[in-house]
Amino acid sequence: MHETYRECYQSLVEKLEEKARLAGVMSIMHWDQEVTMPKGAWESRAKQMAALAGVIHEKSTAPEMGEWITKLMSSSKDVFSEFEWRNITEARRAYDMETKVPKSLVQELAELTSRAHEIWVNAREKNRFKDFAPSLKRLVKLRRQWAHCVDPHKSPYDVNIDESERGATVARLDPIFEKLKSDLIPLIKAIKESLYQPNTSFLKGDFAIDRQRKLAKRISRDMGFSFEHGRMDVSVHPFCGGGHPTDVRITTRYRTDNFVESLFGAIHEAGHGLYEQGRMQTGRDLPVSEPLTMGIHESQSLFWERMIAQSRSFCSHYLGLFAKTFPESMKVVSPEKFYEAVNVSHPSFIRVEADEVTYPMHVILRYEIEKGLFDDSIPVDRLPEIWNDKIEQYLGIRPPTDTLGVLQDVHWSGGSFGYFPSYTLGAIYACQFYNALKKEIPDAEDQVAQGHFLNIKDWLNRNIHSKGRLYETDELVLRVTGGPLDPELFVDYLKEKYRAIYRLN
């Protein structure tokens, strides 16, 4: 009987590996569309994406897959290792979801998102939300249909949230976000009204892009990102993609008037890239090796960007390199002044350029809008007005254009609804992971001050990256930190840090 189960498992593994490799091709096509594809190729690319999505769906929903999974699920757990059993249960979860969604809907979504991306890019450039609105209406409608197919007993928005952050629901997220709003809105106001404001004049200037590119690659490499198994390019919206842990592709964007934003954007994406490159060495085309949730993925980018790169130790170590690279602006700056400048907090329009205090407000705004889109309380045509009202309520500023407001993010053009909460969950996780790291490596800050990141990277590899999907999110966080997700720790961290910087009582 065990041999029969083993043969069945091997057959399943072969199909799962094939599916993962095809998904890797799809990912490279997405990367190409964002980075190198000619603008005139968007229509043919949309059809290619739809065709490949159909092939993947057919293979994912093949009857024999269901037969193998059903048979394996009936076996005794002692037949398989923990690694193998998680592959089976992950395959079951994916199969149950994919067989409920018709191939025609999968293909329609794939084609629409490819077309919508190009429409969004043009609408953003022209500041014309009305050009993107019809695509957004259709995307919301299709994602509702998709959610109803997956689980007709849950709210459509909960189903969409679960795709990015399994186990998360509106009922679970609402109290977390209300906690952040109640604590951070007063902190943002106090920072804005503080008599002490850090000097940031030296961060403004004319910073050559070729020097910025070299700096971004140098620091990404110092962090441990392997350019033998990855690359860095430019895109409208920074992201981490690629088809495999041996082929990880990160992007950033550069501004000649401020090198810090592009540098920290590159560090952020390199953090994502380190997660991908640090995945377990065996079974890399199997579900168990894949990143756990988007919140955990985001915790890794924010760990490096916020907890490491915006620390006093990091600023002190790299200030000399920054001064050498940009002597016109940086040669007379002290480490403490640079630390304060890169941690300056002020309300801004663009989410990806927001500081760590105001950033959660950008996420909460989008979360509340998405809830309204899916429960019909917010019509698409009124989105610019509602967006501007909310950001004015939370941050005290009002976007002068749709490009700086409702059109700034790529996510909706890709049909990604319920994704935004992962960013702030990731920030909370990152804070807790950093606290756990310092308990195990008490001199971590001293190591950063010396430019030594190997022990930190290895700790993340061991405790998070290589664990893949062996554990559910709550269990992983408990194993690593000794406690559950705790927004209170995140709020306390922000209050302590920014009250000190801004000389608040």
Residues with catalytic roles: 269
Closest CA to 293 of 28, 73, 66, 475: 475
Alpha carbons 452 and 316: distance in angstroms, whole number: 13
> Which alpha helices (H) appear in 194-258, and where do they start and end?
209-223
Would you state the structure tokens that stand for residue 27, as one six-digit string? Answer: 């990912």
- The number of beta carbons lying within 10 Å of the beta carbon of residue 247 is 17
Instruction: Yes or no: say if 288 and 468 are a contact pair by the CB < 8 Å rule.
Output: yes
Instruction: Return the DSSP state at 243.
Output: E
Residue pair 401/350 in contact by the 8 Å Cβ criterion: no
Amino acid identity, residue 47?
Answer: K
140, 373 in Cβ contact below 8 A? yes
Alpha helices in 127-258 (DSSP H): 129-150, 156-164, 170-193, 209-223
Which residue in this structure is represented by tokens 């062996």? 470
- Nearest-CA neighbor of 7 among 97, 90, 93, 67? 67
CB atoms within 10 A of CB 472: 13
* Tokens describing residue 354: 């927001």
CB 343 within 8 A of CB 312: no
